[in-house]
Amino acid sequence: MITSGIEEKTFVLNLGPQHPSTHGVLRVLLEMDGEYIVAAEPVIGYGHRAHEHMAENRNYHQFLPNMGRVDYLHALAFNQGYCMAVEKLLGITVPERAEYIRVITNELNRLTSHLLWFGAYLMDLGAFTPFLYCFDDREHILDLLDRITGSRLTYCFFRFGGVPADLDEDFIFGCRAFIKRLRSRWVDYHNLVTKNVIFIHRTKDVGVFTKEQCLLYGITGPNLRGSGIPYDIRKSEPYSAYPEFDFEIPIGENGDIYDRYIVRLREMEQSCRIIEQALDKLPNGPIMAEKVPKRIKPPVGEVYQAVETARGEFGIYIVSQGDVKPYRIKLRVPSFANLSLMVESFKDNLVADVVAILGSIDVVIPEIDR
C-alpha cells in the first residue's frame, strides 16, 4: 500500500446547538481523528437569561418564580434552596408540618426528573418502550403535584416561612397508591433495561469518571455517587426534615455510564422510602411560620445555603445590604461542573458513544446558561 504523500489531519464536527440528544441549546465542538474523538470543547450561552443580574433589580418575593426556571425539571429543590437562604437571613423557623410537606413534594419532583431522564435517555439510545413506561408513571406524579401546587412544571410552591397549601386526604391517598404502583414497575424496568445485553454493552466501561476527576471538577449528585463517593447533602449536611427519615445513599463502583444509571434507579427507590415515611410521620400543626413580614427586608449580612437536587448540589449565596432587593445573588449549579468533566470524558471514545455519555450526565441547559 502506498502511504507516502498522504496528509493525516483531524477535522471538527459540530454537535448542536440544535440536536435532539442535547435536550436544549448546547453546542459541543468535537475534534475527530476518524471515528475517535481527540478533543472536545463546549460552547455555552445560547440560552442565557441573566438570572443573577435580574435578582439585583427585583425584591425577594419577585425573584421567587425565577428559581423554578433555573432547573425546570427539579424546580422545587431550587425553590426550597432560595427560601431556606432567605429564611436564614431573616431568622425564621419553618413549622415542622411545612418541612414535611416540602420534603414530600421535593421527592415527588425528584422522581419526575429521574423518570424523564430515564425515558429520554433510553430513547436517545434507541430503546423506545421504556420511554412509554416512564412517562406513564411520570404523568401520575405530575397530576399529584398539579393538585397541590397548581402547576405541572416550573413550580413556585414554597414560600418564605413555609408552604401556602396543606395536603388533603385525597392527595395522601393518591400518593400512597402511586408509590405502590411505582414499586411494581421496578421489575419491568430491570427486565427492559438493566438486564438488556445491548444496553450493557453500550454502557459498561464507557464514559468513566474516576474519583479523582470528580473531586477535581467539583462533580456532585448521581454522577459523583456513581464513581463510588457517597456524598449527598441530605445525609452529609442534613436540612429541612431529612434527619427524621431512614434512607440510603446508592453508590457505584466503576464510575461508568452503567453505574450512573443504576444509581439514579436506586435513588428513585429511596425517594419512595422517604415519601412513605414522611406520610406516616406527618405531624399536625401550622404550615406557615408566625410573624413573617410582608415586606422582606433582611438585615445586612450574607448567607450560603445548599440543597440536593436531582443533578447534584445547588448552592445559593445571597448578600444583603438591608434593602428590599438582594445586593448580589450567586447560583452554584451542578450541571456546569458536570458539563466540564463530560467533555473531558469524550476523549478517546468513538463518536457513536457521544450521545450515550452526554445523556448519562443529565445536564440541564438552563442551569448552565443561568
Residue 166 within a domain: yes
* Residue 368: predicted pLDDT: 85
* Residue 1: predicted pLDDT: 45
Residue 220 within a domain: yes
Residue 239 within a domain: yes
Q: Which domain holds residue 103?
A: 49-357
* Residue 281: predicted pLDDT: 94
Q: Pick left, alpha or beta for residue 13 (phi over 0 → left; psi -120 to 50 → alpha; otherwise beta).
A: beta
Q: How many domains does the chain have?
A: 1
Global confidence as pTM: 0.93
* Residue 41: predicted pLDDT: 87
* Residue 327: predicted pLDDT: 95
Residue 6 within a domain: no
* Residue 6: predicted pLDDT: 57
CATH of the domain at 189: 1.10.645.10
Residue 3 within a domain: no
Residue 260 within a domain: yes
pLDDT means per 10 residues, the chain with 370 residues, are 62 79 78 88 86 91 91 93 96 96 96 94 89 92 93 91 93 94 89 91 91 93 95 95 95 94 95 96 94 91 96 95 94 90 84 88 85
DSSP-derived secondary structure letter, 286: -
* Residue 363: predicted pLDDT: 87
Residue 12 within a domain: no
